[in-house]
Amino acid sequence: MYKLLLFILFVLFLLIGIPILFEYWKNKAMKYIYDSGNKHKKQMKKMNLNGELVNPLYLHARTLFNQGMKSKALKREDILELTNLLRRSIGNHVKVYNGFKFDNDAHRIYVYLKSKEISIVDMQRIVKFLERKLV
């Protein structure tokens, strides 16, 4: 009788316990994978891919463009000219953005401005263009 009871408990453990342990290990592994991905994203945010001088220029260009759009100082031709200037600055890397779905030209400009392929000289040229159009 004692052996029968131990056998029944062992079978119940196999039927109930092992799936529970499997789910626990699976969830633990998924959490590890998720956490390791987030750690990589956090490290990428801390890294300044464009260098120390480009980031302030990017912020300045973004602010100028934002002000120009809000004040309606930038005309349609200016926006198209800025898009062409950004495309020339990015060069062959613009192929990466072919699959992107842009909502409008302003969205396209904001995405292009974030490109790490824009050099410091090109970013200064973009800032000068925006300052010239807003004055």
Structural domain count of the chain: 2
- Looking at the structure, do residues 60 and 26 belong to the same domain, yes or no? no
Q: Are residues 40 and 16 in the same domain?
A: yes
Q: How does 40-70 read in b/e, with b if 16+ C-beta sit within 10 Å? A: eeeeeeeeeebeeebeebbebbeebbeebee
Residues 38, 64 within the same domain = no
Q: List the domain range (segments joined by +) for residue 104.
A: 54-134
Q: Do 37 and 61 belong together in one domain?
A: no
Residues 34 and 83 in one domain: no
pLDDT at 36: 59
pLDDT on residue 53:
47
**Residue where a domain terminates, one of 30, 47, 64:** 47
Please give the pLDDT value at position 51.
47
Best CA proximity match to 88, nearest among 123, 63, 58, 56:
123
Same-domain pairing of 35 and 69: no
pTM value? 0.60
DSSP-derived secondary structure for 70-82: HTT-S-HHHHHHH
17 and 67 together in one domain:
no
Q: Are 4 and 33 part of one and the same domain? A: yes
* 65 & 129 share domain: yes
- Ranges of residues in the chain with a pLDDT under 70 are 32-54
Query: Is the distance from CB of 70 to CB of 99 less than 8 angstroms?
Result: no
Query: Exposed, middle or buried by CB within 10 Å (0-12, 13-18, 19+), for 21?
Result: exposed
pLDDT digits (tens, 9 = 90+) for 80-117: 999 999 999 998 888 888 888 999 999 999 999 998 88
Domain shared by 2 and 63, yes or no: no
Note whether 32 and 91 are same-domain residues. no
